[in-house]
Amino acid sequence: MAEEVNAHITGTVWKIVVEKGDEVEEDDDLIILESMKMEMPVVAPEDGTVEEIHVEEGEAVDEDDLLVTLS
C-alpha cells in the first residue's frame, strides 16, 4: 500500500534529496523545505521506494500538501 508524505509546514521546496525509484529507510531525508529562512527536512515515515515526487524545487507548498508517495 502506498504511503503519502505531506508537508508539515507552509514553505518552499528548497531541495529534493531523492529520485523516483530510490530505496529509502525510515527517517531518511526526502525533501528539504525552507520556511522563514529555516531549513526543515521532510523524512520518510517508513522504509520504502520513492514511487512519485509531486513537487519541484522552488515550488511553494502549504501545510498538508502531498510531496512524495512511497510504496
Question: Which DSSP string corresponds to the chain?
Answer: --EEEE-SSSEEEEEE---TT-EE-TT-EEEEEEETTEEEEEE-SSSEEEEEE---TT-EE-TT-EEEEE-
3-70: what fold?
A: OB fold (Dihydrolipoamide Acetyltransferase, E2P) (2.40.50)
Q: What is the value of pTM for the model shown?
A: 0.93
Q: What is the pLDDT of residues 17-50, one digit of tens each?
A: 999 999 999 999 999 999 999 999 999 999 999 9
